[in-house]
Amino acid sequence: MARNGLIAVLRVFAVVAGLTAQPAHAHLVETGFGAFYDGIAHVAVTPADLLVVVALALFAGQRGTRAARFALFALPVAWFAGGFVGARWPAMAALPLLTTLSFAIAGALVALNASVRDIGVAALVVAAGLLHGLVNGATMAPAGSVGLALAGAVSAIFLLTAILSAEVTTLPSGWPRVVVRVAGSWIAASGLLMFGWLARTAG
């Protein structure tokens, strides 16, 4: 009985929070070539998206061919799925703290060259893809042609992931792999600083 009451209270909170969430003011960058190319450009000009894709591709490449193959298909698919959810419910899709956390974690894993199983890499990639896709969908919704714009974004993500992860899987040990870890530490460090900026903006 008490549990039912708790659920009711939580539901009220969820509804109130949903109703009071502010609308997304952002909009999609316009290339002038149509929604598909706007989607491609969107990835290029959204640093949080770009950094998470780079970090995940590097990480998947570090973990080997199998993990890279998982990432190559799981990331775009998750991004696409998240995009449609975000386009449908844009009010709950502005999550700068979580998007920052996602690329910071991915960067840290690259820097540490963390030994994560393939399933772990896939889970991370899917979670990050859903999250960033959710935010992308909310951004693209006001512009219309969400499907085309998402297709453009996902194509860019697929290509970037394919190039980077394939490159990293074939790197010899030694300096080339150290450079990859350094890149990861730079991404993680940028994420740490971004947490500070977000805290300062919120305060």
Partner 1 sequence: MRHALGARAARTTVATLLALASTVALAHEETGQAAGFLAGLAHPVSGMDHVLAMIAVGLWGAVLGAPAIWVLPVAFPVVMAFGGLLGLLGVGLPGVEIGIAMSAIVLGAMVAAEVRPPIALAAAIVAFFAIFHGHAHGRELPEGTSALLYSFGFVVATGLLHACGILLGVVHRWPAGRRAVRVAGGGVALAGLFFLWRATA
Nearer to partner 1, 26 or 127 (CB): 26
18-26: long-range contacts, CB 8 A cutoff, minimum separation 24: 18/91, 18/92, 21/91, 21/92, 22/91, 22/94, 23/90, 23/91, 24/90, 24/91, 24/93, 24/94, 24/138, 24/139, 24/141, 24/142, 26/138, 26/139
For the chain, the farthest-separated pair of C-alpha atoms sits apart, in whole angstroms, at 62
Give the residue ranges of DSSP H helices in 46-174: 47-62, 65-88, 96-112, 118-140, 146-169
Say whether residue 144 binds partner 1 (CB under 8 A): no
Task: Name the residue nearer to partner 1 (CB basis): 119 or 199.
Answer: 199
Question: x/- contact string, 98-137, with partner 1 (CB under 8 A)?
Answer: xxx-------x--x-----------------------x--
Among 81, 114, 162, 189, the residue binding partner 1 under the rule CB under 8 A is 189
Q: Does 6 bind partner 1 (CB under 8 A)?
A: yes
Per-residue binder mask for partner 1 (CB under 8 A), 72-91, x = binder:
------------------xx
Residue for token pair 């540490």: 112
DSSP assignment, residue 93?
Answer: -
Residue 62 engages partner 1 in binding (rule: CB under 8 A): no
CB of 25 to partner 1, least distance (A): 6
Q: Least separation, in Å, of the C-beta of 122 and partner 1?
A: 21
Q: Is residue 116 classed as helix, strand or coil in its secondary structure?
A: coil
Least distance in Å: CB of 181 to partner 1? 6
* N- to C-terminal Cα separation, the chain: 39
* Binding footprint of partner 1 on the chain (CB under 8 A): 3-4, 6-7, 10-11, 13-14, 17-18, 21-29, 42, 45-48, 51, 90-100, 108, 111, 135, 138-139, 178, 181-182, 185-197, 199-202
